[in-house]
Amino acid sequence: MSEHSLSATEVSARPIRVLHVDDDPAFLELAGEMLQRTDEPLDVTTETDPRAALERLASSSFDCVVSDYEMPQMDGLEFLRHVREDHSQLPFVLLTGKGSEEIASEAISAGVTDYLQKGPREDQYTLLANRIVNSAEHHAAEREVDQTRTRFSKLLEHSADYIFIIDGDGRLTYVTPSVERVLGYDPEEIIGEDAFAFLHPEGVDRVRSNLTDVLGSPDTETTVELRARHEDGSWRWVEIRARNLLDDPSIEGIVGNVRDVTARKESEAELDWHRSVITSMDKGVYVLDRDHRFQFINFRVADDLDVSAEAWIGEHVSYLDEVGIFSESAVTTVKSAVDDVAAGERDEVELVLEPAVPASTDFLELRIRPLEAGGDTGFILATTRDITERRRNELDLERKNERLESFASVVSHDLRNPLQAVSTSLDLLDAEVDSDHLDRSHRAVGRMERLIREVLALAREGKTIDHPSPVSLAAIARDRWAAIPTDDATLDVETEAHIFADANRLEQLLENLFRNAIEHGGSDVTVRLGSIGSDSGVGEASSASDSSGGFVVEDDGPGIPAERRDHVFEMGYSTAADSPGLGLTIVDDVAQAHGWCVAATESGRGGARFAFTDVELV
């Protein structure tokens, strides 16, 4: 089917017919709904397969094509090349969620009319609708110009929001209809007017100077940004590319291609405001573009590093290696992180680097995340913080943990093996000898096994909890109670609470408390597990320290004398002759690893009460 052509009048008199191609049906439906909400007269047809879209183009007429870039059947640029085979001038807008300089450059080279990135905001669809209407009107105007007067082909060499022609005195001799959409004026009513009357007073002298230069150099072109008055009295920022074609008999004037850049100027103003805030921050702040070049730095940090701030702007990130701040491998890591964030693969990257300067900083934390400016995510915001002291503490803790692991290994292997031999020998002697000495030996072996078990637990439990998960207090308590010898003791579970905790370490905490209650309270002790503040009739009234979320384990045994409660969590402290005194130390360590607070008090029946607060409930 040959490419259809309509006049600008015909385009404005009916809805603009759009063929929208995207392999995501949900996005097509959303985009259709959002475009219908705009004020633009659009009639949208959708296709999820580019091949089906080509068949649709062959049988139906459209004013504009909008296409995604990444599609499984063929990408947007390949689809564009097929469209151009039969529709060389049909407006084609590439709407993609994966934007890059490379794709944009290739799209422009392939003949795309416009290029937009997908975005979550509603105004993105308003912008898309405006671009579609603008493209359709330009296309119609181009066709009309080709069919009437040859001078219009030169007017439409550049894409613009509207185009005008002025004579040597600066009076308008022609303006495209789209000026009404940009500035609100009826084009027919402003023909013959002084073009300078529509400019902001601050820009008139500069434009007159540029006009003089253009008049003196035929066929030359100049670009200027200024404010133009809207019909409603407001001011819009516009970019004007003016070309002297006074000597061209088909034009006989100065041609101006005008683009509305108000949104961009407002974004630049907002960025300047943000920069003012950033320069007052104590952190190091850097803005890089997608080519890994610095566009902004926090000057205070630059001074601290004894490097000129001006020297950084425009420099590639490899400059950090050149001036001896980071190693080449560290710079490569930073570049890779910037690429990941720019590609949308990661929302934020956190790196720990070791700078050569300043001498006082051994470790630097670098956070990299996207920086949006007026909808443009072509910049990465990087912040740095000196974490030398924190990192030294972490490394010291890691070394201590390694020593604890080594100690635990020695205890497990070098003590348990000979102890097992002793235990086996005692079992054999039991069958041959009847002696009280053997009973004492068995008790000693049992005490040694318990000591080894608790020393191992203590060595391996002294770490923080990185990834707690939801667990049931009741389920874990009942499981651990069933796993230990309880004689005639009773467990009352009076909570259905679920908390965030490490299940294995919570098991160790509850088992040690249960063993402690039976050991000190007797074989018929009653142990209660409840939530903080629960009305059980067993626990004492909640104190001020129990106001946060938490749980209690208490019994009706002899309790802990008030003067000893501050010492029960100390390593080796116990009132039982055969206890190693590590059970409650482990309880305290597990609680601290979770970020909980634990306090030993008296229960309502005079027994021991252990209250855990600052517990995160599910």
Q: pTM of this prediction?
A: 0.39
- For 48-57, 422-431, 590-599, which range has the lowest pLDDT when averaged over its residues? 422-431
Average pLDDT of the residues in 536-559: 63
Domain boundaries, the chain: 8-147, 151-260, 266-386, 391-461, 469-613
pLDDT of residue 14: 77
Identify which has the larger pLDDT, 231 or 424.
231
Average pLDDT of the residues in 20-34: 90
pLDDT level of residue 390 (50, 70, 90 thresholds): confident
Question: CA dist 331 to 357, 369, 385, 527, Å?
Answer: 14, 17, 17, 59
8-147 to CATH, choices 3.30.70.920, 3.60.150.10, 3.40.50.2300, 3.20.20.150: 3.40.50.2300
pLDDT at 474 exceeding the cut of 90: yes
pLDDT at 373 exceeding the cut of 60: no
Q: Is the fold of 266-386 the same as that of 391-461? A: no
Most confident of 101-105, 230-234, 303-307: 230-234
- For 3-12, 74-83, 102-111, 312-321, which range has the lowest pLDDT when averaged over its residues? 3-12
pLDDT at 407 exceeding the cut of 70: no
3-state secondary structure of 356: coil
- For 100-104, 259-263, 397-401, 483-487, which range has the lowest pLDDT when averaged over its residues? 397-401
Average pLDDT of the residues in 47-55: 94
pLDDT level of residue 12 (50, 70, 90 thresholds): low
Contact between 196 and 172 under an 8 Å Cβ cutoff? The reply is no
Identify which has the larger pLDDT, 278 or 260.
260
Identify which has the larger pLDDT, 98 or 368.
368
For the domain bounded by 266-386, which CATH number is listed? Answer: 3.30.450.20
Average pLDDT of the residues in 360-386: 73
User: What are the tens digits of pLDDT across the range 74-95?
Assistant: 999 999 999 989 888 899 998 8
Q: How far is CA 607 from the centre of its chain?
A: 51
Q: Select from 351, 349, 345, 344 the least CA-distant residue to 372.
A: 344
Q: Can you name the residues that pair with 285 across neighbouring β-strands? A: 383
State the residue for tokens 């052509």: 5
pLDDT of residue 476: 94
- What backbone torsions phi and psi does residue 151 show, to the nearest 5 degrees? -65, -25
Identify which has the larger pLDDT, 592 or 383.
592
Share of the chain above pLDDT 70, in %: 78
The fourth-level CATH superfamily of domain 151-260 is: PAS domain (3.30.450.20)
pLDDT at 547 exceeding the cut of 70: no
pLDDT at 379 exceeding the cut of 80: no
Name 206's Cβ contacts closer than 8 Å, sequence gap at least 6: 224, 226
pLDDT of residue 544: 34
Average pLDDT of the residues in 420-445: 79
pLDDT of residue 555: 94
User: What are the tens digits of pLDDT across the range 94-104?
Assistant: 888 776 777 88
pLDDT of residue 540: 39
Q: Where are the alpha helices (DSSP H) in 165-304?
A: 179-183, 187-190, 201-215, 262-279, 299-304
pLDDT level of residue 219 (50, 70, 90 thresholds): low
Average pLDDT of the residues in 356-381: 73
In this structure, what token pair is assigned to residue 353?
A: 């680097």
pLDDT level of residue 564 (50, 70, 90 thresholds): confident
User: What are the tens digits of pLDDT across the range 147-204?
Assistant: 655 455 444 444 457 888 998 888 999 888 888 888 999 988 999 999 989 989 888 8
544 DSSP assignment: G
Q: Select from 385, 278, 288, 295 the least CA-distant residue to 337.
A: 288
- For 124-138, 220-234, 532-546, which range has the lowest pLDDT when averaged over its residues? 532-546
Identify which has the larger pLDDT, 407 or 188.
188
Q: Which CATH class is domain 469-613?
A: alpha beta
Name 146's Cβ contacts closer than 8 Å, sequence gap at least 6: 152, 153
Q: Can you name the residues that pair with 131 across neighbouring β-strands? A: none
pLDDT of residue 281: 52
pLDDT of residue 172: 92
Say if strands 294-297 and 221-229 run parallel, antiparallel, or are unpaired. Answer: unpaired
d(CA 258, CA 207): 14
- For 152-156, 246-250, 432-436, 609-613, which range has the lowest pLDDT when averaged over its residues? 152-156
Q: Where are the alpha helices (DSSP H) in 314-376?
A: 319-322, 328-342
In this structure, what token pair is assigned to residue 45?
A: 């047809």
User: What are the tens digits of pLDDT across the range 235-273?
Assistant: 999 988 888 888 888 788 888 889 888 887 876 766 565
- For 82-91, 389-398, 524-533, which range has the lowest pLDDT when averaged over its residues? 389-398
- For 25-34, 95-104, 481-490, which range has the lowest pLDDT when averaged over its residues? 95-104
3-state secondary structure of 147: helix
pLDDT at 141 exceeding the cut of 50: yes
Kindly state the helix (H) or strand (E) to which residue 371 belongs, with its residue range: strand 364-373
pLDDT level of residue 538 (50, 70, 90 thresholds): very low
pLDDT at 571 exceeding the cut of 90: no
Q: Select from 581, 504, 596, 520 the least CA-distant residue to 554.
A: 520
391-461 belongs to CATH 1.10.287: yes
